[in-house]
């Protein structure tokens, strides 16, 4: 059902990864190998989610780690969808 609402498979994979388990964090290269998608497609969606405030990020060494922003007002809504 979600794949009919969300046309981007990369976007859907990211939403499921971060909102099914809100304690999950990951970085670009890790997501690339997990999803089998290009880094450009993943980076584009990560940036969109971060700009919307749905994901937060932190730099750890030379990696930018992403995780769900549990403080976002829509966070409870997204967790019930997934």
Q: Report pLDDT digits (tens) over 17-34.
A: 998 888 999 999 999 999
Model confidence, pTM: 0.83
Q: What's the whole-number mean pLDDT along residues 13-20?
A: 90
Q: Helix axis angle, 28-35 relative to 39-52, nearest 10°?
A: 120
Rounded to a whole number of angstroms, the distance between the first and last alpha carbons of the chain is 11
Name the band, by pLDDT with cuts 50, 70 and 90, for residue 77: confident
- Beta-bridged to residue 68, according to DSSP, are 55
Contact 37, 46 (CB under 8 A): no
pLDDT of residue 22: 86
Is the domain spanning 25-81 CATH 3.30.457.10? The answer is no
Q: Where are the domains of the chain?
A: 25-81
């Amino acid at each position: 059902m979600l794949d009919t609402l969300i046309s981007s498979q990369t976007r859907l994979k990211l939403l499921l990864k971060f909102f099914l388990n809100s304690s999950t964090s990951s970085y670009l290269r890790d997501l690339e190998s997990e999803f089998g998608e290009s880094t450009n497609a993943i980076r584009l969606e990560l940036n969109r989610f971060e700009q919307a405030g749905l994901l937060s990020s932190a730099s750890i060494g030379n990696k930018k780690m992403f995780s769900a922003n549990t403080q976002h007002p829509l966070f409870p809504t997204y967790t019930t969808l997934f």
